[in-house]
Structure 1
Amino acid sequence: MKPEYTAIPLVKNDAEKQYQLTIEGHTAFIQFNETPHHISLVHTEVPPELEGKGAGTAIVEKTLEAIEQSGKTLVPLCPFVFAYIKRHPDWKRIVDPGFKGFGEA
């Protein structure tokens, strides 16, 4: 994540079921569904004004950190989040054991 994004707070908007990150007046978000035991990340959206600036990476990293701190497991249904975890496999540590999308038997 770019250093300038480190101090920007991630907002968990339960009413809209979104993790949100506002950068330069524009809000990137990841839609989620939550159960008592895990959080499914469904869709990531970055406004055109933030594309290519690292906002997608920042919101994914901050969201994964928040899920890890929550003690819940992750179900990465969003293709963007899934691809991020494939590139950074250390995050598989929070993926729900029942999720077999990474090719495990």
Structure 2
Amino acid sequence: MSRAIEHNTEAQRFQYTEEGMLSVLDYTLRGGIMAITHTGVPEAVGGRGIAADLVQAALDTARENGWMVRPLCSYAAAYIRRHPEQQDLLAS
């Protein structure tokens, strides 16, 4: 399933709305390192893979821009652990 995830660069956020409910991935960007600080999906639309799609969109954007990633959010950290092909993006 392909979702139209919006990258709100001003808010440093990836966002997606399903059934009128906003799901988000927040990050900060400093010195070429994207620190993923929070992933939030309302319970009513949980379990649909939205959080995974938000993290993947963030990782794709980091890769396209040559940024490294620091997953401070436990969900993003677990996602990267489950996807070894993304581990080269991890900031030391």
Query: What's the TM-score once normalised by structure 2's chain length?
Result: 0.87
Q: 2: CA distance between counterparts of 1:41 and 1:57?
A: 13
Residue correspondences, number:
92
Residue in structure 2 matching 1:25, options 20, 26, 29:
20
- The percent identity for this pair of structures is 25
Match of 1:92 among 81, 87, 92: 87
Query: In structure 1, what is the equivalent of residue 64 of structure 2?
Result: 69
Q: Deviations over 1:12-38 (max 9, x none)?
A: 223333211222322211111111311
Query: Match of 1:12?
Result: 7
Distance in 1 (CA, whole Å) between partners of 2:54 and 2:65 is 16
Q: What TM-score results when the alignment is normalised by the length of structure 1?
A: 0.78
Larger Rg: 1
Match of 1:35 in 2: 30
Superposed CA deviations along residues 1-57 of structure 1, whole A, max 9, x for unmatched, are xx2xx1x33222233332112223222111111113111001110012210111111
Unaligned ranges ≥5, structure 2:
none
| Superposition deviation, residue 69 in structure 1 | 1.0
